[in-house]
Structure 1
Amino acid sequence: MNDKILNQLEFMKVKEWLKDHAATSLGKEKAMKLFPSTNLDEVTHWQDETDEAVSILRLKGNIPLGGISDIRPAIKRASIGGILSATELLDISNTLYGAKQLRRFIEGLEDIELPHFYDYMEQLMPLNQLEQSIKSCIDEYGHVMDGASSKLRTIRSQIRSYEGSVRDKLDQYTKSKSNMLSDAIVTIRNERYVLPVKHEYRSAFGGIVHDQSSSGQTLFIEPQSVVDINNKLLEARVEEEQEVEKILRELSSLVQIDAEVLRHNVDVLQQVDFIVAKGKLSHQIKAAKPKMNQDGYINMRQARHPLISDDEVVSNDVEIGKEYTAIVITGPNTGGKTVTLKMVGLCTLMAQSGLQVPAQDGCELAVFDFVFADIGDEQSIEQSLSTFSSHMSNIVNILNDVNENSLVLFDELGAGTDPQEGAGLAMAILDYVVEKQSRVIATTHYPELKAYGYNREEVINASVEFDVTTLQPTYRLLLGVPGRSNAFDISKRLGLNQDVIDQAKSMVNEDSRSVENMIASLEQSRKSAEERFEEADELLEESKAIYDSLSNEYEKYLANKEKHMEKAREKASKVLEKAESEAEEILKEIRELRDHTSVKEHHFIDAKKKLSDQKETLGTKVKDKQKPNKAIKQQDFLPGDEVHVLSFNQNGHIVEKISDKEYEVQLGILKMKVPVNQLEFIKRPDQLKTKPMAMVKGSQHHVKPELDLRGERYEDAIQKLEKYLDEALLANYHQVSIIHGKGTGALMKGVQEFAKGHRAVKNYKFGHANEGGTGVTILELK
């Protein structure tokens, strides 16, 4: 990938764009050095870094990089013993402070996984002592402060005193002899305070003349009375300069000591600013992180050219590298073929440079060793080459270097020469590149290449759509449909005489007409399929909305059901507590009567009757809840009937009739034989009332406590399991057994994964040895 290819695909414009997003000169420098990598691990690492920056910007809006500047020249001078200026030292201090703020910001992002940013922050070494030493000596404006040393404070105090004395004396002159001055002001010449004296009054002041005006009418005189003070002031300023230089030398020596750490910090900050700039660019162009591969596979949905504005760009789907390795795009000029070509090439270069690409999430791009392109008008006046010769010279160089890990982009392949020869040459070049197993996308006008894609498995035709109604291209890429010329349709729309059009059609050979008709039929079929797809998509969205609504209602139903069940349990508990209390009172009364010597027999009878009445009352309440229907005779029980087993005080379902005196009953997960005189009928499902026994057996309303999935296909098994759990919940089962067998273990894992995500499954475990062991999973339901 040389600079010529990068320029052809406009990668340099992307670099300029990236540079504008960098916050510091360090990041801008790094952006301009951006170059695609051919190493998959490196590209993947870059993409991960960019994605972390995108995540931070999405949540926080910005990443603080203020105060950071390029201090490398200052570090270099300090490391060889140079004395840094106050401004350079201030930049170093500000950069250290900016790095500290950045690290504090990143470490505060606890809700985001940022392994790469955390690693960079670990590499930033805080030099707090150096930062504080500089800040204690230099203010925010880059001036050495009085407090930098006690000597400097004394010197500056003397300077201010001398300046005040000189100004006071000279101010007296401006008041007493203002008529002799050109201006009643005190000014400075040669770093000494002077007065602007009119030439004719020179002798009235004496002292030293330091300068004169251009006209010679004004002399700048230092009166003799302030010469001594000015001398002392000048000496003090020299001492000040010496002391400031001493302070700067000491601070520079501190920088020299930490030079290596400072260089490393600058490198880290440059990399972070560069990554953040990538994230900002991704945000601006609405880009997505591509999955990278080294298999030559490209798959982008709704991909856009990043350099075309949103109100003009048309998104397209592009896929190449699996079922076919070459795409031949045909269609009219200005239809968007070249834009599509450049978009694929530029997105590939961006992805290999760690930049995200403007496409939908889930896009995939390949890391190529070479990206070759032959695009645009390559006429060379300097080399006296025609357009065809220049293109062919470029193609020759491409064919010499192409390999199986190359992406080749040909624009108007074979153009600029005789159509028949150009078409033949184009097909031969494509054959050569395809045989090399490269990925190739080519655009062409030649109708012969439309048939080329049908005769080779590795090649697919494509075209850019043209709207004959508006006579405008739509810029949509249509994979699998070759382009047609549309010349006759366009001419007719523009008003060309129908006789002329008919005569033109008669001059086109039958094969060409057949191909054009076939393409027109393909386009019509595609449009019809797209319309149906859109209708199906709308129906799917409506179905999803209905499903979501029903799901919400079902959730509410389950919540209300549980709430009512809880209320019923509380009410029953209170009834039982009251019954127990009353029973205790009755028993207590019986004991007292039994111990009483004068008790009569009728007292025992009355107490016993009270206890019997209480028991009968409680029994009535329970039976009322169960709603038994004694109208059903015992011998009329059918499979599926809900019954109450008196001996166990449990409700269950009839499984089958054993004999006239015995039935098999399902109680929870247990099946047992129960005498008919121990069964009380509760209710019968409506569907069973009108069906004979043969139809009832195995009915969906009789839910067994176990489901056998052995021999089922995975998808069918999961579907049956989901339906079964709904039925088990309606049957109020608290535990069910799923028989999946051992086999390869795939069905077992599928059942347990499904159970893990089902809202109604509280827990799951393998069955005991006598229940089937690992061939059975027992689900505990909520």
Structure 2
Amino acid sequence: MNDRTITTLEFDKILAMLSENAESEKTKKSINPSIISSDIGSVTQMINEVDDALTMLRFKNIELGGITDIKGHIKRAEIGSMLGVAEFNEIKSILNRKRMLSNVFDEFEADEVELTYIPVYINGLPDIHYLYKRISETCDDARVLDHASDTLLRIRSKISSEEEKIRDRLNDIIRGNNQKKLSDSIITMRNNRYVVPVKVEYQGEFNGIVHDLSASGQTVYMEPMAAVEMTNQIQTLRDEEDTEVERILYQLTAETAEAASELSKTDDSLHHIDMVFAKAKYGNKIGGTKPEVMTTGGIYLPAAFHPMIPSEESVRNDIAMDEATRAVIITGPNTGGKTVTLKTVGLSVLMAQSGIPVPARDGSVIRLFSKIYSDIGDEQSIEQSLSTFSSHMTNITGILDVADDDSLVLLDELGAGTDPEEGAALAISIIEYLLAKSSTIVATTHYPQLKSYSYTREDVINASVEFDVDTLSPTYRLLMGIPGKSNAFEISNKLGMKPAVIERARNLAGRDSSDVNDMISALERHTKKAQQNEEDTDRVLKESKALHSELSTALDDYRAYREKLKKNARDQANRIIKDSEIKAEEVIGTLHDMKEKGAENIQDHEIIEQKKALSDSYHQEELKRTERTEAKEAIHPGDEVDVLSYGQKGEVLNVEGDEATVQMGIIKMKVELSELKKRKKAKADRPVARRVGKSHVQRALDLRGERYEEALNKLDRYLDQVILSNYNEVEIIHGKGTGALQKGVQKFLKNHSRVRSFRGGAPSEGGFGVTVVEMK
């Protein structure tokens, strides 16, 4: 990429804005035209790394402060030159930034954000965090720390003690009889010596050594003789301090030299990451996107814009060249945007080959070029002198000598500055020569001869910048495939030119010219209509997406509301069944009392079976199910059956047609035969005589308020009674409290041989304050 191309396309300004996003001065200096690559592997790698950075920036701002160039410090350490505190702080800063970036990548990995290309620059570095700790333990931002060594701590403690003694001695002097001899009652420093300000007229009377004179000449700064020896002692200690500090820094320098290779790799990686994020941050600012770069093919830049034009002012255009197209010729009026379009193409290619997001919508495709040449002058200038034409021709001549099939050539106002007929012929000849060398060309021109040129070749297409005749101003919209037409007659008419004059001009222009303009006008109308249809389609698509989102939200709300209704229904059903169960217990209790008083015909198993019929219906989400038998069975009175629709067992009392009367516990009802499934008859068990206690056993045991040991004893006795009563399920009420009683109860139940299982109570049963026990 030659310097003229970089300058005329203003890529140097893009690089200057890019460097503003870098942290390190070293990175800023490396942002120059050398970052442009023509190697597909390097370009693809750069683009993918920047895409990783863009992904990270979408989630959070990535801080890279503290990245500085430490290569010079590393070299000094390797040759044995002592590093100072400032150099060590820069090394510590870059090691700290490496550690922080490593943590950031870990966070993204934990959040399952896919990053493929950047983390390796940090995760692949050797671990030298120990050096960061050594530097932190040795020095702060300004000096070596007192605790860097025991010797340094002892010396500095001694210095502090001696300085305190001097201050006390000098305070005695300035507060004593010498006050009248002093200009001010203060202690200050001159030449690292403690001095007091003495009036010049008392200089001979004050016992001390002069170290300085005030600007006015009225005050001399004298070190009292009483402090001289003490200051000398402090100076000796300071020399010892300097020696110890130097020893510590040399030792730390040697440790740094041992990690020189690791530090150098860290420096390279962090500066590379600084470069990547500079590109990503700049891309974010201009609204750039990731391009796809290929070694063959054309150029496709949807909604492209010039990156240096403010976003709110730029007009976005689709720029498309397929693989078969080798040249695009753009025509249109001055100040219509032809040159901006030309520069947009060139900058997009340069930015893509530098790994910078391109100024276009997602989906852009750019062919890789090894060379980019441009000839862009000040076509807006009124003066077009021979020297200007010569300058352009000299530059184009150089381009023709070196251009090849891997070159992109950008030519602005090709052939301008000379006779129109000769200029048009020269322009066509230059384009034909470059096409013969298979170069890719984008050229702008005013010459009408080039409009028809594209129709003679399949590898050349026309394009134009639109002009609004009604407002007499350009719209800056690019029309691909349509040549620009002359608007002279329309403009003249809008400006009030006499119709007779315009009509005469049309006749002089010739019929062919009129037909071409009519054809161009028709193409413009169809293009505008297509653009309007595209805009309408985009609008309908956005409305459809919004409606879909709204319907999805409504559906989610409906499903949540439906689940809420189901839960409320289940809770209400459970409450009803629970109330029925309590009433049944009261009835059964009454029956027990009756039995004890002589009603021998009521059997225990009948009472328990009736109670269980109620208990088994508890927790059913729907009372009636849709289950049916797959095969018809012969059902007869006296058969034991499963009532599939209610999930209960029962006994058939009578069969009439397709229905049967079934006794389910205390409930008798008619059901369809398809809802019944015969049960296998169990072997008759030998009757077991059970003794019925005098007191009725309740279905729930309340242990609240009981002591731990007494509660477990009570639970043990209760379970014995439950076994005798043949209960299938009971509740143990232990309350919530600290949870100790709950744990004790459940531990006891776990080890009980007759307990099948247990669970925490449902909200309608008392929640965590109740344990429901199922017996074997």
TM-score by length of 2: 0.71
Contact 1:9–1:345 (Cα < 8 Å) also in 2: yes
Distance 1:325 1:173, change over 3 A: same
Contact 1:586–1:611 (Cα < 8 Å) also in 2: no
Contact 1:378–1:390 (Cα < 8 Å) also in 2: no
Partner residue in 1 for 2:14: 14
Structure 2: stretches of 5+ with no match in the other structure: 567-619, 642-650, 663-669, 676-776
Distance (whole Å) between structure 2 residues aligned to residue 533 and residue 206 of structure 1:
98
Larger mean CA deviation between 413-422 and 432-441 belongs to 432-441
Q: CA deviation at 1:187?
A: 1.7
Deviations 1:173-225 (A, max 9, x none): 22222221122211212211112111221222222222223443322211211
Q: CA deviation at 1:75?
A: 1.5
Partner residue in 1 for 2:250: 249
Aligned residue identity for 2:363: G
Distance 1:413 1:33, change over 3 A: closer
Distance (whole Å) between structure 2 residues aligned to residue 105 and residue 293 of structure 1:
33
Contact 1:180–1:201 (Cα < 8 Å) also in 2: yes
Contact 2:659–2:671 (Cα < 8 Å) also in 1: no
1:279-294 matches, cutoff 5 A: 279-294=280-295
Distance (whole Å) between structure 2 residues aligned to residue 433 and residue 260 of structure 1:
50
Partner residue in 2 for 1:218: 219
Distance 1:10 1:584, change over 3 A: farther
Q: CA deviation at 1:352?
A: 0.7
Larger mean CA deviation between 370-379 and 309-318 belongs to 370-379
Q: CA deviation at 1:34?
A: 4.8
Contact 2:85–2:144 (Cα < 8 Å) also in 1: yes
Distance (whole Å) between structure 2 residues aligned to residue 119 and residue 57 of structure 1:
18
Distance (whole Å) between structure 2 residues aligned to residue 553 and residue 188 of structure 1:
80
Contact 1:320–1:439 (Cα < 8 Å) also in 2: no
Q: CA deviation at 1:29?
A: 3.1
Q: CA deviation at 1:66?
A: 3.3
Partner residue in 2 for 1:735: none
Aligned residue identity for 1:420: E
Deviations 1:285-314 (A, max 9, x none): 222111111114111111111111011111
1:56-135 matches, cutoff 5 A: 56-59=56-59, 61-110=60-109, 111-135=112-136
Distance (whole Å) between structure 2 residues aligned to residue 425 and residue 388 of structure 1:
12
**SS of equivalent residue, structure 1 residue 571:** coil
Partner residue in 2 for 1:320: 321
Aligned residue identity for 1:67: G
Distance 1:623 1:405, change over 3 A: farther
Distance (whole Å) between structure 1 residues aligned to residue 554 and residue 671 of structure 2:
32
Contact 2:330–2:463 (Cα < 8 Å) also in 1: yes
Partner residue in 2 for 1:758: none
Distance (whole Å) between structure 1 residues aligned to residue 288 and residue 416 of structure 2:
35
Distance (whole Å) between structure 2 residues aligned to residue 411 and residue 531 of structure 1:
30
Aligned residue identity for 2:226: S
Structure 1: stretches of 5+ with no match in the other structure: 590-606, 626-782
Distance (whole Å) between structure 2 residues aligned to residue 259 and residue 82 of structure 1:
13
1:298-447 matches, cutoff 5 A: 298-377=299-378, 386-447=387-448
Contact 1:583–1:614 (Cα < 8 Å) also in 2: no
Q: CA deviation at 1:463?
A: 0.3
Aligned residue identity for 1:253: A
Partner residue in 1 for 2:576: none
Q: CA deviation at 1:490?
A: 2.1
Q: CA deviation at 1:90?
A: 1.6
Distance 1:533 1:501, change over 3 A: same
Distance 1:62 1:230, change over 3 A: same
Distance (whole Å) between structure 1 residues aligned to residue 52 and residue 369 of structure 2:
24
Distance (whole Å) between structure 1 residues aligned to residue 490 and residue 270 of structure 2:
61
Q: CA deviation at 1:88?
A: 1.1
Larger mean CA deviation between 518-527 and 332-341 belongs to 518-527
1:564-643 matches, cutoff 5 A: 571-573=625-627, 583=635, 586-587=638-639, 610-611=654-655, 613=657
Distance (whole Å) between structure 2 residues aligned to residue 99 and residue 234 of structure 1:
41
1:130-279 matches, cutoff 5 A: 130-139=131-140, 141-176=141-176, 177-279=178-280
Contact 1:193–1:230 (Cα < 8 Å) also in 2: yes
Aligned residue identity for 2:229: D
Aligned residue identity for 1:83: M
Deviations 1:226-253 (A, max 9, x none): 1111111111111111111111111111
Aligned residue identity for 2:412: D
**SS of equivalent residue, structure 2 residue 442:** strand
Distance (whole Å) between structure 1 residues aligned to residue 279 and residue 534 of structure 2:
37
1:700-711 matches, cutoff 5 A: none
Q: CA deviation at 1:549?
A: 9.3
Deviations 1:511-559 (A, max 9, x none): 3333223222322232234344545665666778889999999999999
Contact 1:303–1:316 (Cα < 8 Å) also in 2: yes
Contact 2:653–2:660 (Cα < 8 Å) also in 1: no
Distance 1:244 1:553, change over 3 A: closer
Aligned residue identity for 1:519: I
Q: Does 1:52 align with 2:17?
A: no
Aligned length: 595
Aligned residue identity for 2:96: Y
Partner residue in 1 for 2:487: 486
Contact 2:652–2:661 (Cα < 8 Å) also in 1: no
Partner residue in 2 for 1:469: 470
Distance 1:302 1:621, change over 3 A: farther
Deviations 1:240-278 (A, max 9, x none): 111111111111111111112111100000011111111
**SS of equivalent residue, structure 1 residue 204:** coil
Deviations 1:605-658 (A, max 9, x none): xx999445466789x987999xxxxxxxxxxxxxxxxxxxxxxxxxxxxxxxxx
Distance (whole Å) between structure 1 residues aligned to residue 545 and residue 252 of structure 2:
70
Distance (whole Å) between structure 1 residues aligned to residue 551 and residue 261 of structure 2:
66
Larger mean CA deviation between 542-551 and 336-345 belongs to 542-551
1:438-587 matches, cutoff 5 A: 438-535=439-536, 571-573=625-627, 583=635, 586-587=638-639
Distance 1:621 1:452, change over 3 A: farther
Distance (whole Å) between structure 2 residues aligned to residue 65 and residue 298 of structure 1:
35
Larger mean CA deviation between 352-361 and 64-73 belongs to 64-73
Contact 1:30–1:271 (Cα < 8 Å) also in 2: no
Distance 1:419 1:536, change over 3 A: same
**SS of equivalent residue, structure 1 residue 97:** helix
Deviations 1:691-728 (A, max 9, x none): xxxxxxxxxxxxxxxxxxxxxxxxxxxxxxxxxxxxxx
Distance (whole Å) between structure 1 residues aligned to residue 433 and residue 105 of structure 2:
52
Deviations 1:334-354 (A, max 9, x none): 000000000000000000111
Contact 1:335–1:465 (Cα < 8 Å) also in 2: yes
Distance 1:43 1:533, change over 3 A: closer
Aligned residue identity for 2:47: Q
Contact 1:369–1:406 (Cα < 8 Å) also in 2: yes
**SS of equivalent residue, structure 2 residue 138:** coil
Distance 1:8 1:622, change over 3 A: farther
Contact 1:166–1:230 (Cα < 8 Å) also in 2: yes
Distance 1:429 1:162, change over 3 A: same
CA RMSD of aligned residues (A): 3.5
Larger mean CA deviation between 496-505 and 260-269 belongs to 496-505
Deviations 1:25-81 (A, max 9, x none): 34323334652111111111111111111111112x222323332222221211111
Aligned residue identity for 2:473: Q
Distance (whole Å) between structure 1 residues aligned to residue 479 and residue 279 of structure 2:
32
